[in-house]
Amino acid sequence: MSRKNLLSSLHGESKPDAGTAPPPHSRPFMDAGKSKPMAAVTKTLGDLNDRSRRANEIERRLAEGQSVIELEPDLIEPSFVQDRMVGDIAGLVSSIKEQGQQVPILVRPHPEEPGRYQVAFGHRRLRAVSEAGLPVKAVVRELTDEQLVIAQGQENNEREDLSFIEKARFAARLKDRFSREVIMSSMSVDKSTLSIMLQLVDLLPPELIEAIGPAPGIGRPSWQQLAALLEKVQESSVIVAYVQSLSHLPSEERFKQTLAQLKPSRVERGIPSVLSTPAGSRLAQIKNSKSKLEITIDKKATPDFAAFVIEQLPALYEAHQANNRNKKDV
């Protein structure tokens, strides 16, 4: 379902009768009769370059034709499908305290608890307004489960403020309840991308993802690399404990440190080292590569030692062979 069709379907929901008063715990905020038809919701979106502005425009247009009311935050629950990981909203709280809530959130009447609501989008704003101690400005719509998750996913996609792993977990939480077509519409992704997202969430332990956090800026290739490296680890709990010890670091840095921890240590090959006597005198230079060991003796410095080594090599080899036979007999 495209965004245009989604918003059209939302517009098609029945409106409350003119004589029906708002719930006793809400206060009218805007006169619905003065708004324009929802059919104009996508008219100006093509002229907006900034994705965040487009998301705000979607929400404002959704509000047109609907009553915006003020609700007490404790009457509103998050969506039944979590999309975000816990993040810092201090900046948003400060902004709302100074300027007020500029854009309403979208909620639906709770399907099981009369007098309560569920968020379709605006989770961060709900938290911020609640922390600011203010009532929440909200548009109340009758939404099916499918309409809710599509609105939730598309609003986040327009804002582009969910990290890759948050989007992947959101998709994974939807898969047991909705068809792949609904999930793809919600997230605006193709079938191949969705499959990769679901596969990654299956491969990565949930506690590891939680310990790392949203990791903004870390894209799909890096998460795929992490999953591939983790498959070689026998005890993932050790890695989880390691990540938890990095809780003082930003989420993105925790990811980078975890990836570095899982990568195999490089074996330095081909770099010469020096063999010295117990007294510290230089005996030889050794170069150890993958296919051979080279010992270079300075004949000018120790000419007799170079000759001695050559003479003793056959005897050393025999001693080596005898040692191996003795080990086998033990």
**C-alpha–C-alpha distance, residues 178 and 171, integer Å:** 10
Structural domain boundaries of the chain?
1-161, 163-262
Query: Which tens digits make up the pLDDT trace of 208-252?
Result: 999 999 898 899 999 999 999 998 887 888 899 999 999 899 999
- In the prediction, which pLDDT does 271 show? 55
- In the prediction, which pLDDT does 165 show? 92
Hey, what CATH class is 1-161 in? alpha beta
Helix (H, G, I), strand (E, B) or coil at 250: coil
Q: pLDDT confidence of 174, banded at 50, 70, 90?
A: confident
Contact by Cβ (8 Å): 208, 223: no
317's tokens: 């080899």
Query: Which tens digits make up the pLDDT trace of 31-60?
Result: 333 334 333 334 434 443 455 555 555 455
Q: At what angle do helices 3-11 and 145-159 cross, to 10 degrees?
A: 130
- In the prediction, which pLDDT does 255 show? 94
Percent of all residues in the chain with a pLDDT value above 70, rounded to a whole number: 70
Q: Which of 39, 23, 116, 126 shows the shortest CA–CA distance to 75?
A: 116
Average pLDDT over residues 152-174: 75
DSSP 25: T
- In the prediction, which pLDDT does 265 show? 64
Query: Which tens digits make up the pLDDT trace of 15-32?
Result: 444 444 445 444 443 333
- In the prediction, which pLDDT does 243 show? 93
The residues near 180 (Cβ < 8 Å, ≥ 6 apart) are 191, 194
Average pLDDT over residues 109-136: 87
187's tokens: 């997230």
Residues facing residue 119 across a β-bridge: 107
Q: pLDDT confidence of 306, banded at 50, 70, 90?
A: confident
Run of H or E including 296: strand 293-296
- In the prediction, which pLDDT does 202 show? 93
Neighbours of 171 (CB within 10 A): 27
pLDDT(280) > 70: no
Query: Which tens digits make up the pLDDT trace of 58-113?
Result: 455 554 546 788 899 999 988 777 666 655 677 778 888 888 888 888 888 888 88
DSSP structure string for 253-289: HHHHHHHHHHSPPPP--S--EEEE-TTS-EEEEEEE-
Residue keyed to tokens 């245009």: 4
